[in-house]
Amino acid sequence: MTSVPAGAGSGIGFHEVELGPGVLAGFTDRHGGAGTAPYDTLNLGARVGDDPGTVARNRGLVADRVGARVAFVQPVHGADVLVVRSGDQPVPDAGFDVLVSTTPDVAVAAIAADCVPVLLADPVARVVAAAHVGRRGLVAGAVDAALDALVALGADAGRLAAAVGPAIAGVSYEVPAELRDEVAATVPESRSTTSWGTPGLDLPAGVEARLRARGVRVRRSARDTFTDPDLFSYRRDGATGRLAGVVRLLPPGADG
């Protein structure tokens, strides 16, 4: 990952990831926006108690950074997919955890504050996706739903590249043993133990395992939202903002 420092582009914390030619992708942090505590400063979540005008300004900064309208939705911890095919297509503010774009006019974003934001792209088929994958979404099949939607639009699993963004690490995410066993029964790679020796879940490892099982090339962030003060963490802070993974198809001929 490469970091875009404050003052570059729109001046927000935006860490680019390489997903292939003709694709712009990256993950935000909490720097460069307009918010005040506990949402300081680049909160992109519209339903977390922050001022709606501030959130709209922050989302505008992200749109400026990627050079296109950005479609955000409020996660519902499921596996439903919405495909955005044109710049003027209305996008509801809730109901989907996976957004797919087939147009350079609309970037798609997955917001999170411990759950896993996942970005996917097939530069040849010219299709990208952003998925929010939490514990329930992982079990419900959100990763496979995203991949199935991309394949249905012409993507090839062997060409697909994925970036698994910052999320709470397995060493930080404590859960009851029964819950760990329930999730691990579906995704064994998600089983973990916290750094203090209690049952845990490693959602990023589970997401990566599902992607690799389908033949997707994966780059995974090592950043732990729970321990990194530059990232939002609901588990750590309670009332807080949301970061985003954002991916856009660039117009033909534009540099990636």
Give the Cα-Cα-Cα angle 228, 233, 235 (nearest 5 degrees): 120
Residue 8 Cα to chain centre, angstroms: 22
**Radius of gyration for the alpha carbons in the chain, expressed in angstroms and rounded:** 17
Is CATH 3.10.105.10 the classification given to domain 2-167+217-249? no
Considering only CA atoms, which of 205, 134, 120 is closest in space to residue 163? 120
The SS3 of residue 19 is: coil
> How do residues 199-240 score in pLDDT, each as one tens digit?
999 999 999 999 999 999 999 999 999 999 999 999 999 999
pTM of the model: 0.94
> How do residues 40-93 score in pLDDT, each as one tens digit?
999 999 999 999 999 999 999 999 999 999 999 889 999 999 999 999 999 998
